[in-house]
Chain A
Amino acid sequence: MRHILGPLLVILAGFLGWEVLHFVVANSSLPSPFETIVQMGVLLRDPDFWKQASQTGYAFGIAVVLSTLGGIALGILLGMGRLAGQVAEPILVNLYSLPKVTLYPVVLLIFGLGISARIAFGIMHGLIPLTLFTMNAILQLKPVYRRSAAVMGLTSWQTAFTVILPAILPQVITGARLGVSLCLLGVLIGEMFAARNGLGYMVTHAMERGDMPTVLAVAVMIAAVALAANGLLLALDRSRQP
């Protein structure tokens, strides 16, 4: 129950702040929550909206899958090779704090203007946190777990899948929560800056037309999806615990 309450409160606070803003901003170029909800209804019945959403969903889905698999694999590799992990950590942290938008032209140069550039940009955002979380989980693994596995006669495979994996899972899920949100961010930024389709493009395009209800309606729906994904992973994390 508590993990539903969190996102709900966020939404409620958002709406309240928004309503206040709507009244304070004198010229009222900011649509009210009501106008936005009406526009949402319009969009949800518009096939073009669904076409754009499926573009974003497709890029987002692939970016999530690839950055999750890649991040976990990379994190395990770096965590196992203790030295490699120690060398890699500062590099990854620095890369992570880099404003990645500045690198987007390079990504475009490499991948062209198609959907693969947006996928790559999503992965660039989502991969590093998951790698860092997984790597640190392995580096901090209690040595006694591996020693216990050894004295109970487990093979390396059994140790990897029945001891190490469950032991690092909580941190991996935390990393995945961060990674998923950042993947979405990466894909949307990619669509905003260089694309002719996708929800990010739809927002920029509506902005150019001064169609604020559409901008806000799409933004709210994206926020809802992001919160739902986060809530789902949080619930997954909690469900494993007693």
Chain B
Amino acid sequence: MSPALASVAAPVPAEHHARLTGVTRVFGARKGTGVHALGPVDLDLNRGEFFSVVGPSGCGKSTLLDVLAGLSSPTAGTAEFEGKPINGVPAGVGVVFQEDASFPWLSVEDNVAFGLRRSGVDAAEVARRVDYAIGFMGLKDFSKAYPAQLSGGMRQRVCIARTLVMQPRLILLDEPFGALDQQTRLLMGDELLRLWRETGATVLLITHALDEAAMLSDRVGVMSARPGLFIDVLETGWPRDRDSRIVSHPRFGELTAHLWDKLRAESLKHLRGS
């Protein structure tokens, strides 16, 4: 495990790293005609596991992530991180969003250092961690470039590096590779696995790509059409030091087929409903 990116030990050891209990989210509930977006959902994330969530679009995946990130509070139910209720963005949680969140007015280097510089960490430590994260994400040659000069995949790397330097113990990713082409997505998946192994962090990945979920995860949660519920949680049984080459393993096909089996009916509901 590399010292520069290793997550700091949790202040409160907890059996479950993050836990959702009966979490429900209704938008515009007060106006009577609310949108029931999510739940009730129960979810236990084990420390250090790689958990993926798949589900038809609009089923409440981003809503689930927002609750875990402390960006929105559940209408009902409780959310906990490291044994404490989530109330506002918890320290130790990092988020990579689907949209390009790199700041166009900052160079790659300054983008990566952005959050860290404002968190009271001393300059030498900032430089050390930024340097490491930039190297780790393969951005060394672009550290002085601006996001406008980079491809979508490179920009998403910048956002991942920006999250990494904060040394999060739980990393939430909301369809981070959704806008990338298939080959780039496979390679980014490998990077994500490498990152997960090196940091020892818990990872929650939201994706619409079943193959991505089957290849990367320890467990995959399958959600129903809105309001999203977990209709299945699948254990993949992959070894920890896996990479994208497992796509040729027969079990990869079985896992993907199983996921599609579960999701087909739900996706049809979404298609007919919209």
Contact = CB atoms under 8 A, between A and B. Distances in A.
B115 A144 contact: no
B91 interface: yes
A115 B145 CA distance: 49
Contacts of A148: 95, 97, 101, 159
A153 B105 contact: no
Contact of A151 (B93, B100, B105, B106): B93
Nearest to B99: A144
Contact of A158 (B94, B103, B118): B118
A59 to B, nearest CB: 34
B184 interface: no
Given A145-B101, A145-B103, A163-B103, A153 B146 contact: no
Contact of A169 (B99, B101, B105, B148): B105
A150 interface: yes
A150 B105 contact: no
Interface in A156-183: 158, 162-163, 166-167, 169
Contacts of A145: 101, 103
Contacts of B89: 150-151, 153
A151 B95 contact: yes
B95 A153 contact: no
A241 B91 CA distance: 33
Interface string B140-168: 00000110110000000001001000100
B28 to A, nearest CB: 15
Given A144-B97, A147-B71, A242-B148, A153 B118 contact: yes
A45 interface: no
Given A144-B99, A153-B119, A154-B115, A240 B71 contact: no
Contacts of A10: none
Contact of A142 (B99, B146, B159): B99
Contact of B118 (A142, A150, A151, A154): A154
B69 interface: yes
B260 interface: no
Given A145-B101, A162-B118, A151 B69 contact: yes
Interface in B89-117: 89, 91, 93-95, 97, 99-101, 103, 105-107, 114-115
Contacts of A147: 71, 95, 97, 101
B103 A153 contact: no
- Binding site secondary structure of chain A: helix
A145 B148 CA distance: 16
Given A242-B148, A242-B149, A152 B118 contact: yes
B94 to A, nearest CB: 7
B37 to A, nearest CB: 17
A85 B174 CA distance: 31
Contacts of B107: 242
A108 to B, nearest CB: 44
Nearest to B104: A167
Interface string B162-193: 10001000000000000000000000000000
A82 to B, nearest CB: 15
A240 B93 contact: no
Contacts of B94: 151
Nearest to B148: A242
A167 B114 CA distance: 14
A166 B103 contact: yes
Contacts of B91: 153
B117 to A, nearest CB: 9
A163 B106 CA distance: 10
Contacts of A162: 114, 118
11 contacts: A145-B103, A148-B159, A150-B71, A151-B71, A152-B162, A153-B115, A154-B118, A162-B118, A163-B103, A166-B106, A241-B146
Given A142-B101, A150-B89, A242-B146, 13 more contacts: A142-B99, A144-B97, A147-B101, A151-B71, A152-B115, A152-B118, A152-B119, A152-B166, A153-B89, A153-B115, A162-B114, A166-B105, A169-B105
Interface of A: 142, 144-145, 147-148, 150-154, 158, 162-163, 166-167, 169, 240-242
Q: What are the 7 tightest A-B residue pairs by CB atom distance, in nearest-first order?
A: A152-B115, A242-B146, A151-B95, A144-B99, A166-B105, A148-B101, A144-B101
